[in-house]
């Protein structure tokens, strides 16, 4: 089978490319390297069934050619990371919405299978203990840039479901909750690679806010395993699935775990949100997925612990010269 991965040189995309190659697929990726990196796919370039193109998915003729040749498309190309989203809201909105609309339009010509990657950010300011796929979604005001990402991803979901219903494009939407692991950068606000990098270099570990906000963290290998399995289930077409783990941890406890696991002497310091991001920045106190729906469709039981994640990220960063 021929698989196309948009954003394939990114953190998740590169792991997905590996998994698809290991399943004997012909893999094509396209990435403009705006947040991805050639380093992420360097080890794949020598493989006979791996092909890569450095360009934007907004290059319609090129993307059309790639989609026409593919049997399955994983659409991951997007602006990612809280810091990038706040600093470049125009790029966030244009990249996410225009890119997704183009992929769906081209895929609709020959009813290509498409997996759209969405995000837990779409749940917004909900105060639910756990988030399930049919919950109401509560976003903040439009003058706060951090909500532009969630809004753009919601439009992506509406587009995907519209193409499924109106044009019979076989689409699956996956909402990823904090996916972490090797090759992820802390440059755009991702918390575990930032904490690990600070711990390794004995710099202060910077906790934003009071550290009592809780999050879940899924190893990228578990996320990729779920994505490659759910796509095989025809009953999943036209559906939305949370992908994550259902045990959460406070950000302060995470910082303490990173420090302890890496035997670091780093001091843990607190940084106000206004200093880390922007004046009036809003964060969610809790974000925990209900994963019962995907477990009804596939046997999804994450295999990697948070300690595994920290160890793998640390090994990767040390190998990169941190």
Task: Looking at the structure, give the CATH architecture of the domain made up of residues 2-180+218-245+288-302.
Answer: 3-Layer(aba) Sandwich (3.40)
Average pLDDT over residues 95-108: 95
Query: Which residue among the candidates 52, 149, 164, 208 is catalytic per the annotation?
Result: 149
With 0.95 as the threshold, say if the pTM is over it: no
Ranges 180-194, 213-227, 270-284: which has the least confidence: 270-284
Is-contact 157 122, C-beta < 8 A? yes
pLDDT tier at 256 (50, 70, 90 boundaries)? very high
Is 149 an active-site residue?
Answer: yes
pLDDT digits (tens, 9 = 90+) for 288-311: 999 999 999 999 999 999 999 999
| Per-residue pLDDT, 275 | 82
In this predicted structure, the answer to whether residue 34 has a pLDDT above a threshold of 80 is yes
**Positions of E strands within 2-143:** 2-6, 26-31, 50-54, 72-75, 113-119
Containing H/E element for 179? strand 179-180
pLDDT for 186 equals 67
Q: Which residues contact 60 (CB under 8 A, 6 or more apart)?
A: 102, 106
Residue 188 has pLDDT above 60, yes or no: no
Digit-coded pLDDT (tens) for 78-99? 866 556 666 777 777 778 899 9
């Amino acid at each position: 089978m021929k698989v196309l991965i948009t954003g394939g040189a990114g953190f998740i995309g590169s792991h997905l490319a590996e998994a698809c190659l290991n399943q004997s697929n012909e893999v094509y990726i396209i990435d403009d390297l705006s947040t991805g990196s050639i380093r992420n796919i360097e080890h794949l370039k020598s493989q006979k069934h791996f092909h890569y193109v450095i360009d934007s998915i907004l290059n319609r003729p090129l993307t059309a050619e790639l989609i026409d040749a593919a049997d399955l498309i994983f659409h991951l190309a997007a602006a990612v990371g809280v810091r990038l989203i706040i600093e470049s809201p125009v790029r966030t909105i244009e990249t996410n919405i225009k890119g997704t609309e183009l992929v769906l339009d081209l895929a609709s010509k020959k009813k290509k299978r498409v997996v759209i990657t969405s995000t837990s950010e779409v749940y917004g300011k909900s105060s639910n203990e756990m988030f399930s796929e049919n919950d109401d979604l509560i976003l903040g005001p439009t003058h706060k840039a951090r909500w532009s990402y969630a809004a753009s991803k919601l439009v992506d979901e509406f587009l995907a479901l519209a193409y499924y219903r109106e044009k019979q494009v076989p689409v699956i939407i996956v909402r990823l909750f904090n996916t972490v692991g090797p090759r992820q950068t802390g440059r755009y606000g991702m918390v575990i690679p930032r904490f690990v990098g600070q711990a390794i270099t004995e710099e202060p570990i910077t906790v934003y806010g009071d550290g009592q906000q809780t999050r879940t963290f899924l190893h990228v290998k578990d996320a990729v395993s779920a994505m490659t399995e759910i796509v095989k289930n025809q009953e999943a077409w036209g559906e939305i699935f949370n992908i994550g783990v259902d045990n959460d941890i406070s950000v302060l406890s995470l910082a303490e775990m990173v420090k302890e696991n890496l035997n670091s002497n780093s001091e843990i310091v607190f940084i106000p949100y206004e200093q880390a991001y922007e004046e009036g920045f809003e964060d969610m106190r809790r974000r925990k997925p209900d994963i019962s729906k995907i477990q009804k469709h596939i046997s999804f039981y994450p295999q990697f612990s948070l300690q595994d994640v920290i160890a793998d990220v640390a090994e990767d960063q040390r190998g990169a010269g941190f």
